[in-house]
Homo-oligomer: A and B are copies of this chain.
Amino acid sequence: MRLFFEPESVVVIGAPRKTGPGALNNIEMMLRYGYKGRVYPINPNADAICGIKAFPSVSEVPETPDLAVISVGRDRVLPMLRQCVDKGIRRAVVITQGFSDADSIGAELQRQIVELAHATGMRIVGPNTMGVINHYKHFTTAFVDRPFPEKFPPVSLIAQTGFIQVAPREIAYGEWGKAIDTGNTSDVDFVDALNYFNDDPETRIICIHMEGMNRGREFLKAAAATTLKKPVLAIKTGRSRAGARAALSHSGSLVGEDDVFNAAFRRAGIIRVKTLLELRDSIHALLRLEEMKGPRMCVLTVTGAGGIMCADAAEDYGLELSSLPKGLPEKLKQGMPDWIHVGNPIDIWPIGMIGGNYTRVFGETLKDLLVADEVDGVMCIFPVSVSALHQDLNLLQAVEEARQQTGSRKPISAWTYMDSDLFRDKFESIERVGNFDSIDQAVQGLGFALRATRNRERRAPEPKVFPYDAEKVRSLMGTDGVLAGEKALELLACFGIPAPESRLVSSAVEAVAAGKEIGYPLVLKLAGPAFLHKSEWGGVVPGIRNRRDLEKALRDVEKSVRRKDSRARIDSWLVQEQAEGKEILMGLKLDPQFGHVIACGLGGIYTEVFRDVSREIVPIGRGEAEWMLKSLRMYPLLQGARGERPVDIEVLIDILQRLSFMATVLPGIREMDINPVMASAEKCVAVDARIIFE
């Protein structure tokens, strides 16, 4: 990747002769950017471009350049790449569009390009790309003119589009340090770019714009390693379309595509942002605040009303209002009237007004907060004014002094008003202070710092290995690719996942005997391959409480079957313990990008409407299984709200781990739904299941 970002020589194929307005000449842009490497324009119709000697073909260039930049018509890209390979060039940026972004002809051309790359070891960025920017080397392949920035923070971008690259003023925190547009991402992809930026000392924060992805597992691996060192932010677009695609079938609703990305990003420690605005705020937060060691925020504000807004925002962004440092309330109330009360948010307004020394009391309090064990980060609201009448009010200076005098590294997030625009540079000069455009964005900033810190400190899952009867598993899996009902439950049982007690019987007499053995209440089910969709045959009768009920149920089902098909014959019945408790759905799904995803959530009739489902990438350990349950909105019901006994959550955690293990042992599982697991205080059993193999 280094040659893409730091080439010492570049051959530019297809640069127009024309320069100036409207020419979109990328050699011109490269030179304006101050690129110091050697540039070789290829153009058979020009002697020179931008004053640089042009060559009729690549073969005539007097050295082997590090990089080729290609923007000829799509039909000529492959021949040009071949010429580059022949010349010994090993890196190319293909700017040309009209490949897999366009039609089947373009897709075929792209396939051939990739084939060439794989055969020859040539690495290709694009096609359909703006290419690469590296401000550290004054290098750009873009055909768009931007002034070379005065300063650029160590933020690197990986995008599948060009516009984010040229819009850092509006999207990033001023600038990107380095950027790559992978375009159609035919060869060089997120994994390559991530690995490069992971090792790159000039990159402190990585931003990803993603529309789609391949090599999901490798991506997760690369990202998981990277996020232990530096934060990775991602905006994954297509949220809404994914929502529309989500089928209303169980599996569909369990694992919508977009939710899988959430699970994957969480696993890899990537912070997903929803909008470009959030991207900008998160970059600012991570550059300026760096870290926040816990969720406890103290608010120091010159307006009580603003303090309330901070409290609202705290809840939105996963923060808590900290308790106050010991002794601080007493200190603040000293010499004040009785009615002054001090809480968090600390409203310093009346204290400053009465005491007549705002700057001092604000600064002293901030110092106390910065060194207090009770506080992980501080949120400040105060006015900044250039008015001569407010020169005594030097709150920003108080912030600076508090930072310097305490030596604390705790984050300070701030929102200021009145003349905030005029104080931006001053803010910049104070370490670990974030200066945001609104109260909510400032609180959110602390939230981002906390998330990045937690991602750096997170630990990999520790999946358990379980014993299982491999022989029996093989015999059960059969050949038709689908296991449903009892067969599916048997397979689950091989992995230690309990099913309700049941007996397969072939007569009413046997059924009654089985009922006596198992104990009521019972469910009676039609069995046998002829009745795959039992309910459609009226073949499931729950809530059987005694022998009479059972006998009636047997008659009813027979009648129902005969009504549907007078020739149908019932060979066997299943008499099953009626499991009681909360209905929980569990499942696995093979995602094309990320492999097996495990899901768990609310079962029963409300599954689709509330979509209360948590997901993790397989494999999971105990911690992830526990999180999957705890993050459900229905979790309080599992804990026994309304005075009920709590369900056996340990067993649910165990079942989830066993499912994860099962997926690693049986990689051919395409889809599995256990619907439901019935969970009570006494037991948790899989009542029905369906498994589809590849």
Contacts and interface: CB of A to CB of B under 8 A. Distances in A.
Nearest to A20: B389
A238 B308 contact: yes
Contacts of A420: 169-170
B102 A240 contact: no
A418 B29 CA distance: 15
A243 B441 contact: no
Given A21-B390, A240-B315, A277-B441, A610 B608 contact: no
Interface string A385-411: 101111111000000000000000000
A440 B275 CA distance: 7
Contact of A161 (B105, B303, B389, B439): B303
A119 interface: no
Nearest to A389: B145
Contacts of A665: none
Nearest to A241: B311
Interface stretch (A457-465, A490-498, A560-568, A633-641): A633-641
Contact of A277 (B338, B381, B440): B440
A439 B304 contact: no
Interface in A536-564: 543, 548
B277 A237 contact: no
A158 to B, nearest CB: 13
A506 to B, nearest CB: 27
Contacts of A633: 609-610
Contact of A312 (B98, B238, B302, B353): B238
Indicate the member of A311, A391, A635 with the most B CB atoms within 10 Å.
Answer: A311
B166 A209 contact: no
Contacts of A421: 169
Contacts of A240: 311-312, 314-316
Contact of A418 (B22, B169, B391): B169
A393 B22 CA distance: 8
Given A98-B337, A641-B608, A145 B276 contact: no
Contacts of A419: 169
A637 B605 CA distance: 8
A413 interface: no
Contacts of A418: 144, 146, 166-167, 169-170
A218 interface: no
Contacts of A441: 277
B417 A167 contact: yes
A280 B338 CA distance: 38
A183 B340 CA distance: 17
A585 B171 CA distance: 46
A612 interface: yes
Contacts of A28: 389
Interface string A277-317: 10010000000000000000000001111101101111110
A609 B638 CA distance: 11
19 contacts: A21-B391, A28-B389, A102-B337, A103-B338, A144-B418, A161-B305, A161-B306, A163-B303, A166-B383, A167-B383, A169-B418, A170-B437, A171-B438, A237-B308, A243-B315, A276-B309, A277-B438, A277-B440, A606-B634
